[in-house]
Structure 1
């Protein structure tokens, strides 16, 4: 027998042995076959399927105690902890203080915003908050606008390049106690062949933030259009020194203006909106704390926690999840929040519920991390516990409905499990993760946690989809 043939037989034998172990670990044949076809060894998989009751039977399992990178499924831990530790009616309060004298509609002094870490101070909410201030009688601010972010520790500031070296990506925006509009900019490019210009609109409109458009390329191919723009995003404006091809048509680019400080972003949006509301302000935007003698003028209440966790889980919003972990840290310690204080609170909560942590590592609570770890056993027990919780309806409904919405809207659309499972997905380089609930054809609920950490993880979706269909049919 040739050496080559022996080697082939040896490899085949090892693969067969590995996947026979998969069967011993209670993995369905359809899933085992899909993993084998994708070149994903069993050792790179952690899987847990159990009926969603404390005494429910285990349907499938593999490497349940091995901590793995869960990517965005880590958000399920953060949001479930928040529902119980903060309560389902929790909302964030952003306060406006005045430090000075009011004469009619004139404030001779400072307007101070005290941040609460509101994860969803989107543009319309910020506009309503400013209108609330205007409606209470202030029009002309003859002092400064002061931003109080003291609810967060200074150490929460993060390097937007640290995760993947791409600081322009909106998912790399860091936490901010006075976060507005996720600190993101939307640039819309539209070629005008008649004038020979490229029209560029930026949203939100920002006072004192000029935008220099690119040159129009009438004959070029679109291709890597963002790379051809010659972009420069500074704290006081954006310029595009390159070209934009007519063949691109209308394009939209979402950007994290990372060279623009949080204070600069807040200030530019505030100045524009305040002016649009008929207000005047010519002072500076400063960072500081609410002075002892300042008086609370008005307060903005955010949407409640269930709406926030719906955005976090259905659409995998990373900065919102990071803000939520910090809120847990602050509310449980009443000291300036850090990711570490949030992680300690979550781990203590798990321990109080008797849920094993099996090497759990919480870095920022969003899953946008190379270091976060959780086992399928911990995730599975968490999901079983939450199924018995009074906040179970809010928790389950926050997850994508398979085949219909969120990050699962395009998966399993033509399978019978579509519409019968709520699943949170997780995707990073070398990571594919899935966790949530399946309502089986039998009418019983099952919890599913399925983590793949492998160079071939991008090929693992078929195995995960096969598991969901199998649970639906056989549960």
Structure 2
């Protein structure tokens, strides 16, 4: 039984907590809460933290401890851990062995390639890798192409499990050997009443079928979303493209996730090798790398370049490969998702960032289960600001109205060029986090997470809150104190 005094203290404490919560809600800018109301998003489905990076208490803090899905804003956490553990100059290698005698430009044996997860092996860099092989005297390969993906140990994964879109590039699965973000690029070109489809790189044995219907009147808006790619009905590797295609679009390209990482790597390597005049007579097989030093260790671009591509354009495959790389760097190969999660948690722990509510699946935010609180995200931003590599961290983020996923947002606003923010969008999730410079020159960290069926309607609220910050916090309604 409670004593009378204990009951009084409990009720007084409860009243104080409710008053504080009420005062906190009142402190939110009126334009922000009005925008949420118009969008049909209740305040208890929103978390916000705004805090000066140079110290002091948060200027706004609402629902900050709630564990919410951050969508691609989770890439901030992976980026922070990567810079902390690996450093800005970290690089991957792709190792190549000539497993047999080499004479007069002919390799009488297998070419063996082992990847370590380089997420930035684009077509251009694959061409440079092959150029380095030719510089070492290889023109003709009379054995097999042996691919060694053993640096990553991954469970079987269905690329369509997330949302039933297995051919969407954002669903590409990670791999120790990944080329061109696992994208197969197809060129579409109207020809009379047909739309021709051709691969950017030759794809022998791959079935490409166009059932696209020419639309004579439609403007070239949203044409990619109108195309429906499906697997061929005969089970052969390839794709069938159907749907309307505006003639006004002319020639366009579309990138799809048609194959697993190793299969895509194989097709791109062979296609580029043939384009360069080389020959490769054997089959492609999976196998282990031989003992001894490789003929070539092809170095990636530095981590900072990977982070810029990953965050500016929200590349999920790059984030997933980086997440796995962290696990291997911290706990030894082979990389696994569990090691990656442990490495990220350890990095946050070293900076006193709470991880009790952190849920990690792949580090990219392409997940229904990943969770983090706005408070923890804000602490990541503040810890990054205090670090020696803050310039690299911030410069990798999209800039409002200028580039990346923010290029077409906040145009015509004073926010243009003043905010570095990572975006995040999933069904029922909209998130934004990063740094904002106010008109008075003061910089703040910013986190806003929305988990609600109407989350996609939260952009006006995001804009209202950011404009309040940019203006110095003096345009608040409902009693907000503003930024001082």
Q: Same fold (TM over 0.5)?
A: yes
Determine if the alignment matches structure 1 residue 463 to structure 2 residue 461.
yes
Q: How far 1:264 sits from its partner (Å)?
A: 2.8
TM-score of the aligned structures, taking structure 1 as reference length: 0.88
- Residues 344-403 of structure 1 show CA distances to partners (whole Å, capped at 9, x for unaligned) of 111111111111124100110010100000101000111111101110011111111112
Residue of structure 1 equivalent to 2:143: 143
Contact 1:230 1:243 in 2 (8 A): no
Cα distance between partner residues in 1 of 2:64 and 2:461: 17
Contact 1:187 1:203 in 2 (8 A): yes
Match of 1:204 in 2: 201
**Is the counterpart of residue 46 in structure 1 residue 47 in structure 2?**
yes
Q: Which runs of 5 or more residues in structure 2 are unaligned?
A: 1-17, 473-482
Q: What secondary structure, in the 3-state scheme, does the structure 2 residue paired with 1:154 have?
A: coil
How far the C-alpha of 1:307 sits from its partner, in A, is 0.8
TM-score normalised per structure 2:
0.87
Paired position in structure 2 for 1:311: 309
Do the aligned partners of residues 246 and 57 (structure 1) sit closer, same or farther apart at CA in structure 2, a change above 3 Å counting? closer
Once the two structures are superposed, residues 171-199 of structure 1 have per-residue CA deviations (whole angstroms, 9 ceiling, x without a partner) of 00000111001111222222222xx6532
Call closer, same or farther: CA 1:246–1:176 in 2, change over 3 Å.
same
Equivalent residues in 2 for 1:280-291, closer than 5 Å: 280-291=279-290
Match of 2:3 in 1: none
Change (3 A) 1:188 1:283: same
8 A Cα contact 1:314 1:398, kept in partner: yes
Q: How does 1:30-45 map to 2 (within 5 A)?
A: 30-45=31-46
Return the alpha-carbon distance in structure 1 between the equivalents of residues 440 and 364 of structure 2: 34
Distance 1:386 1:104, change over 3 A: same
Checking the alignment, whether the CA contact within 8 Å between 1:95 and 1:115 is kept in structure 2 is yes
Are the equivalent residues in 2 in contact too, given 1:233–1:239 (CA < 8 A)? no
Q: Aligned in 2, Cα 1:219/1:413: closer, same or farther, shift over 3 Å?
A: closer
Please tell me whether residue 105 in structure 1 is matched to residue 102 in structure 2.
Answer: no
CA offset at residue 154 of structure 1? 3.4
The residue matched to 1:58 in structure 2 has which SS? coil
Partner SS, residue 127 of structure 1 = helix
Query: How big is the shift at 1:202?
Result: 1.5
- The alignment yields a C-alpha RMSD, in angstroms, of 2.6
- Count residues with an aligned counterpart: 452
Q: Which residue of 1 aligns with 2:413?
A: 415
Paired with 2:90 and 2:176, the residues of 1 have a C-alpha distance of 16
Q: Which runs of 5+ in 1 are unaligned?
A: 1-16
Structure-2 residue corresponding to 1:3? none
Deviations 1:293-329 (A, max 9, x none): x541012111111111111111111110001101101
Q: CA separation in 1, counterparts of 2:417 and 2:277?
A: 48
Map of 2:254 onto structure 1: 254
CA change 1:458–1:22 in 2 (3 A) is: farther
Partner of 1:232: 232
Question: 1:124 is matched with which residue?
Answer: 124
SS at match of 1:76: helix
The structure 1 residue matched to 2:441, chosen from 440, 443, 455, is 443
Note closer, same or farther for the CA distance 1:305–1:233 as it changes in structure 2 (3 Å cut). Answer: farther
SS at match of 2:436: strand
- 1:350-361 to structure 2, matched below 5 A, reads 350-361=348-359
8 A contact 1:207–1:269 mirrored in 2: no
CA distance in 2, matches of 1:437, 1:464: 13
3-state SS of 2:98 partner: strand
Q: Which residue of 2 aligns with 1:175?
A: 174
Measure, in 2, the Cα distance between the counterparts of 1:234 and 1:203.
Answer: 23
The residue matched to 1:190 in structure 2 has which SS?
A: strand
In 1, Cα distance between equivalents of 2:136 and 2:87: 31
Whole-angstrom distance in 2 between the partners of 1:31 and 1:19: 19
1:233 and 1:435 map into 2 onto residues whose CA distance is 43
Superposed CA deviations along residues 236-268 of structure 1, whole A, max 9, x for unmatched, are 65354868667465364634344x343332222
Name 2:115's counterpart in structure 1.
115
